[in-house]
């Protein structure tokens, strides 16, 4: 699923990372993709890293932590 250039809605839980511009289905999924130590090497996971850790995009195009539970992120 390719979503680059597409405008997705953000809201109460769904959000877009201002650093990597990816869309997330929940705050927990958003938090999950941020790795490293605060103030040291805090950064976003790459798409490859997210996929490698079991994250995936749901049908709507938002990243979720586990596709099997994407309703809850």
**Interface with Zn ion by CB under 5 A: which residues?**
17, 19-20, 44
User: How many angstroms separate the CA atoms of 66 and 52, rounded?
Assistant: 11
Question: Nearest approach, Cβ of 30 to Zn ion (angstroms)?
Answer: 8
Q: Contact at 8 Å (CB) between 19 and 35?
A: no
Task: Give 63 or 70: the residue with its C-beta nearer to Zn ion.
Answer: 63
> What are φ and ψ of residue 15, in 5° steps?
-150, 165
Question: Nearest approach, Cβ of 22 to Zn ion (angstroms)?
Answer: 6
Question: Nearest approach, Cβ of 23 to Zn ion (angstroms)?
Answer: 10
């Amino acid at each position: 699923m390719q979503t680059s250039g597409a405008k997705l809605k953000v809201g109460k839980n769904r959000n877009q990372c201002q650093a990597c511009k990816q869309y997330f289905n929940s705050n927990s999924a958003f938090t999950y993709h941020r790795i490293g130590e605060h103030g040291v090497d805090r950064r976003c996971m790459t798409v490859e890293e997210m996929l490698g850790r079991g994250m995936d995009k749901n049908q709507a195009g938002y990243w979720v932590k586990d596709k099997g539970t994407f309703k809850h992120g």
